[in-house]
Chains A and B, each alone.
Chain A
């Protein structure tokens, strides 16, 4: 019985890990089943070669081949993952179990995390609000660090990556070891860095699109008897340029650029990064204490501190380009207690509590009225999950209660029009403007009850059908509550609404999986209702400023319905030749006003033909694959709701090959990828800079890693 359960679990992991296909003759694993991170919610897991073959890419790029996951871009340097049409504060990113706390409210703010810290990356597509708390509406991205190598000798990995587009180069390493004389101790350190210059589309360079990154992480642990104590830290730093051709004035200028379809001034290659640019540093420190009871239960307590520093530099006069126009520091302290028990009878219980405290401050001296106020934010939640595992089926149910408290305080200057006596007079009378400071913000409380119910049915060893209903929520962000004025990056005037309430999401997702045999299948059908969906509504009016006229947008709430299908199917044509189909379709509506939702991924279909070479004694895991990726035009769009219509459909070809030269415990892995093989010129609907430029052209990437 335990053997069967473990083998099934392995199948779930490998089948979900669509990027990391390894042909195994047979696996027999004994031991207890480790639950997948999302419980009965469908999970896609990337690990091993799937991650190695994407080293040097950012988190959204690493995940973009997972069905149902796409990315929203601000040019070539900033990308955010999108899960089933939702992004930003509607999905969670967990760094070694800790919710990543950055400035995710901005669409031009990428997650401040290096995917190289992770041994596995899991994408949970359900509404996992019970286990993970607020903001897990669209899904969760879990970056798990590798386990500490207690009792093992020193080992590690070093790798390097080169790419022709952007002339980028980078590298990384991992060193890990136990302590021979003190087997209760173990440690691991990891680092990565990269530098790239201006990217090139099929026809021209994109000026000021260089990136520099330097990241480190480390963990040390002590394990004795039933105790495990670990200390973990990660440091992420990046400097990235923002395409200078996207720096625009008013709407007339924007329209002129859209009409031209590409930048007016063709760029050239350079590693230099000038304003507009971003500098981001994110640090996380975590201490964990775990105790294993002898009744198959364990208790975990952790405390974490995070600091996120974001500085954004704009093109300014009088030397002010060197002064950040946005300078935010977010400090977060969080703690969690988690107890879980897995009984031999098949019952599993998990319960816990989590609390966090955030302080977000604008650093003075920017010479720009801050976009968002200073604020303090506190949250606390308790949850319980019960799971029953039987031979043919599994059941799961959970409940969670959260309470959040926001206290914001910001100021912005207002100008009163007064006469000589200081009395306010109508604008058509003689007078002068007198500046006054207006304070805004104040305390807000949010609380919510979340729940979930899941069922998995396994009619045969290789088939399983699961269905999961989950509730999740998120409170409104400070940017949605308090935005006021010109958003330069978007060429629009945005107004928040301090009366906004939280979003409440209900997601039902049903997954059919077949995990062995010639045909393998992973199909997920989902529908999600989000009550109080917050979005920027165009007001169809223009506001005149001294820089010209800009369209006005206001944050509003509506009810949204998102439905879709994610499908991966693999068919082994011959033992060495495999065909894979990946598709993702999503339909999203504002059901209150009968409009389409903006920035929803277009339909995507990819075909992968993979040939695996015969396994040798020293050379193995060799393959070559051709990927045909088609992205349709987004036709579900309300005319006039955007500055430009969605771009036409496009088709890209990618070629990838990999091999491993192994000798005893040493191995050298080589991956070569040519993305956009035909150097196709295209624009993607989810690229916010598609108004000004095309997507990245042909890119040859070579990755070499050595493991020992």
Chain B
């Protein structure tokens, strides 16, 4: 029996080598990766300040100032996509006109993504936090989502920043104001940027 020991060990070794060969002889090349891109991240967000006034419910627009933000959160020229070295300053005039802010989210292929947010309007809300209070007023025009809403100027001669934050997972059965300072405690963030604004009196032009 003792003489059989090495033979059995050798047999087991042979089986192990066979198993090891079986185990490791499979392909050494990984499966080709599938191309995925982040559907959830917009590639570009455009914020349009449309100056105008209402006739009934119809907005008569005069002109539009657009701020564009690209995927890395930096400001770009909305027409050429060239990088801007700082946030553009939007000048808002006090008067009978309002400034309708329309926000547009674009995918990397240029498709508009707004529908994805609006179909879940019950859990999405934009908040706008001016750095100086009492200068601006805002009214949601789209069931408190904030993709469309009107700013009006209350005080002139002010330079201020405006934090725009889109939150999801919000419990909207609770009424929350557009400038709720606790905005970053509700749900979680989809988008955030800080705009630079300047308020002037009606007819006063920006010479910067």
Interface set of A (CB-CB < 8 Å, partner B): 244, 247-250, 252-253, 256-257, 260, 264-265, 291, 293-295, 297, 299, 301, 303, 315-318, 320, 333-337, 339, 353, 355-357, 359, 361-362, 364-370, 373-376, 378, 380, 405, 407-411, 413, 415, 427-433, 435, 437, 439, 441, 443, 543-549
Residues in chain B near residue A297, CB distance under 8 A? 5
B16 within 8 A of A: yes
Asked if B143 is at the interface (CB within 8 A of a chain A CB), the reply is: no
Question: How many angstroms between the C-alpha atoms of A355 and B28 in the bound complex?
Answer: 14
- Min CB distance A567 to B, Å, is 42
A430 touches B77 (CB 8 A): yes
Nearest opposing residue in chain A for B43, CB measure = A433
Contact across chains for B81 and A367 when beta carbons are under 8 A apart:
no
Q: Which of B1, B33, B73 contacts A294 (CB 8 A)?
A: B1
**Contact yes or no, A405 B35, CB < 8 A:** no
Q: Are A431 and B80 in contact (CB under 8 A)?
A: yes
A370 touching B5, Cβ below 8 Å: no
Pick from A334, A339, A376, A411: contact of B27, CB below 8 A.
Answer: A376
- Check B85–A337 contact: CB distance below 8 A: no
Check A548/B192 contact, CB under 8 A, given A244-B169, A359-B31: yes
Q: Are B40 and A439 in contact (CB under 8 A)?
A: no
Interface residue B155 (Cβ < 8 Å from any Cβ of A)? no
* A-side contacts of B202, CB under 8 Å: none
**Contact pattern, B 122-152, Cβ under 8 Å of A = 1, otherwise 0:** 0000000000000000000000000000000
Q: Chain B residue with minimal CB distance to A374?
A: B30
24 interchain pairs (CB within 8 A)?
Answer: A249-B188, A253-B184, A253-B185, A253-B189, A299-B8, A317-B116, A317-B168, A335-B20, A357-B26, A359-B30, A367-B39, A369-B36, A369-B37, A373-B33, A374-B33, A376-B29, A378-B28, A407-B28, A408-B30, A415-B71, A428-B83, A544-B73, A544-B74, A546-B41
Pairwise interchain contact A549-B24, C-beta atoms closer than 8 A: no
Of B30, B41, B184, which contacts A409 at CB under 8 A? B30
Closest to A410 in B: B33
**Other 6 A-B pairs with CB < 8 A, given A355-B20, A364-B34, A430-B81:** A353-B16, A353-B20, A378-B24, A544-B73, A546-B72, A547-B190
Task: Tell whether A317 pairs with B120 under 8 Å between CB atoms, given A373-B33, A376-B27, A431-B80.
Answer: yes
Does A335 contact B23, Cβ atoms closer than 8 Å? Answer: yes
Question: Quick check: is B47 within 8 A (CB to CB) of the other chain?
Answer: no
Convert B172-187 into 0s and 1s, putting 1 for each residue whose CB lies closer than 8 angstroms to a CB of A: 0000000000101111
Nearest 5 pairs of A and B residues by beta carbon: A249-B189, A430-B80, A364-B34, A544-B73, A337-B16
Please indicate the chain A residues that have their CB under 8 angstroms from the CB of B171 in the complex. 265
Q: For the complex formed, measure the closest distance between the CB of A495 and the CB atoms of chain B, giving whole angstroms.
A: 15
Interface size class of B (residues with CB under 8 A): 35 or more
Q: Establish whether residues A368 and B30, one from each chain, have CB atoms under 8 Å apart when the complex forms.
A: no
Rounded to whole Å, the gap between the CB of A421 and the closest CB of chain B is 14
Verify if B153 is at the interface (C-beta below 8 Å from A).
Answer: no
| Chain B residue at smallest Cβ distance from A302 | B19
Docked-complex contact B39 and A368, CB < 8 angstroms: yes
B67 at the interface (CB under 8 A from A): no
A356, A429, A546: the one contacting B73 at CB < 8 Å is A546
Judging by beta carbons under 8 Å apart, are B71 and A546 in contact?
yes
- With A249-B189, A368-B39 already in contact, the answer to whether A295 and B5 are too (CB < 8 A) is yes
Contact B42 A546 (CB under 8 A): yes
> Quick check: is B2 within 8 A (CB to CB) of the other chain?
yes
Q: Is the CB of B5 within 8 A of A546?
A: no
Cβ of B104 to closest chain A Cβ, rounded Å: 13
How far is A253 from B22 in the complex, measured between Cα atoms in Å?
Answer: 52
Closest CB in chain B relative to A540 CB, distance in Å:
19
Q: A339-B9, A355-B24, A433-B43 are in contact. Are A318 and B119 (CB under 8 A)?
A: yes
Which residues does chain A contribute within 8 Å of B40, judged by CB atoms?
316-317, 320, 367-368
Q: Are A364 and B36 in contact (CB under 8 A)?
A: yes
Assess the B24–A380 pair: CB atoms within 8 A. Answer: yes
B123 to chain A minimum Cβ distance, whole angstroms, is 9
The docked-state distance in angstroms from the alpha carbon of A405 to that of B24 is: 10
A482–chain B nearest beta-carbon distance, Å: 11
Q: What are the residues of chain A within 8 A of B59 when measuring CB–CB?
A: none
Interfacial residues, chain B to chain A (CB-CB below 8 A): 1-2, 5, 8-9, 12-13, 15-16, 19-20, 22-24, 26-43, 45, 69-74, 77, 80-83, 85, 108, 115-117, 119-120, 167-169, 171, 182, 184-193
Tell me whether A256 and B184 are in contact (CB under 8 A).
yes
Pairwise interchain contact A370-B169, C-beta atoms closer than 8 A: no
Whether the pair A435, B37 counts as a contact (CB closer than 8 A) is: yes
Q: Indicate if the CB atoms of A335 and B43 lie closer than 8 Å.
A: no
**Do the beta carbons of B28 and A411 come within 8 Å of each other?**
no
**Which residues of the partner chain A approach B190 to less than 8 Å between Cβ atoms?**
249, 547
**Given A355-B24, A546-B45, A361 contacting B31 (CB threshold 8 A):** yes
Distance between Cα atoms of A415 and B107 in the complex (Å): 13
A701 → chain B closest CB, angstroms:
32
Which residue of the partner chain B has the closest CB to A440?
A: B33
Q: Which residue of chain B lies nearest to A300 when distances are taken between CB atoms in the complex?
A: B12
Residues of A within 8 A of B36 (CB): 362, 364, 366-370
In the complex, A549→B73 CA distance in Å?
Answer: 8
Instruction: Tell me the complex Cα distance, A443–B41, Å.
Output: 31
Please tell me if the beta carbons of B184 and A356 are within 8 angstroms of each other in the complex.
Answer: no
CA distance A453 to B150 in the complex (A): 76
Please give the distance in Å from B102's CB to the nearest CB on chain A. Answer: 18
B163, chain A: closest CB distance, angstroms: 9
Q: Contacts of B45 on A, CB cut-off 8 Å? A: 546
Bound Cα distance A334, B27 (Å): 15
Q: How far is the CA of A248 from the CA of B28 in the complex (A)?
A: 39
**What's the Cα separation between A357 and B19 when bound, in Å?**
11
In the docked arrangement, what's the CA distance between A303 and B17, Å?
A: 12
Q: Which residues of A contact B71 (CB under 8 A)?
A: 415, 433, 545-546
Could you tell me the distance between the alpha carbons of A293 and B45 in the complex, rounded to whole angstroms? 74
B191 near A301 (CB under 8 angstroms)? no
Within the complex, what minimum Cβ distance (angstroms) separates B70 from chain A?
Answer: 7
What's the nearest-Cβ distance from chain A to residue B72, in Å?
A: 6
A380, A427, A439, A548: the one contacting B20 at CB < 8 Å is: A380
Given known A-B contacts A294-B1, A295-B5, A364-B36, A315 and B15 have beta carbons under 8 A apart:
no
Task: Specify which chain A residues have a CB less than 8 angstroms from the CB of B81 in the assembled complex.
Answer: 430-433
**A463 to B116, alpha carbons, bound, how many Å?**
70
Smallest CB separation, B30 vs chain A (Å): 4
Beta-carbon nearest neighbor of B2 in chain A: A295
| Whole-angstrom CA separation of A353 from B120 in the bound complex | 57
Q: Provide the bound-state CA to CA distance between A19 and B191, in Å.
A: 51
Given known pairs A355-B23, A367-B36, the reply for A315 and B168 (CB within 8 Å) is yes
How long is the Cα–Cα vector from A698 to B9 in the complex, in angstroms? 57
Complex CA distance for A355 and B16, rounded to whole angstroms: 9
Q: Does the CB pair A294–B30 fall under 8 Å?
A: no
Closest to A488 in B: B188
Task: Given A335-B19, A370-B33, check contact A357 B24 (CB 8 Å).
Answer: yes
How far is the CB of B21 from the nearest CB of chain A, in Å?
A: 9
Q: Which residue of A lies closest to B34 (CB)?
A: A364
Contact B2 A294 (CB under 8 A): yes
A410 to B168, CA, bound (A): 31
Nearest CB in chain A to that of B185: its residue: A264
Chain B contacts for A356, CB-based, 8 A = 23
Q: Which residues of B contact A413 (CB under 8 A)?
A: 35, 37, 108
User: In the complex the two chains form, what is the Cα distance from A295 to B35 in whole Å?
Assistant: 59
CA gap between A293 and B9 in the complex, in Å: 10
Chain B residue contacts of A248, Cβ below 8 A: 188-189
The interface residues of chain B lying within 8 Å CB-to-CB of A247 are 169, 187-188
Q: A355-B20, A411-B35 are in contact. Are A301 and B185 (CB under 8 A)?
A: no
Query: Nearest Cβ distance between residue B194 and chain A, in whole angstroms?
Result: 10
Q: Residues of B contacting A443 with CB < 8 Å?
A: 28
Name the B residues within 8 Å of A368 (CB-CB).
Answer: 36, 38-40
Best-surrounded residue of B1, B9, B40, B169 (most CB of chain A within 10 A) = B40
Q: How close is A546's CB to chain B, nearest CB, in angstroms?
A: 5
Among the interface residues B1, B16, B35, B77, which one has the most CB atoms of the partner chain A within 10 A?
A: B16
Bound-state Cα–Cα, A375 to B19, Å: 21
Say yes or no: B108 contacts A433, CB within 8 Å: yes
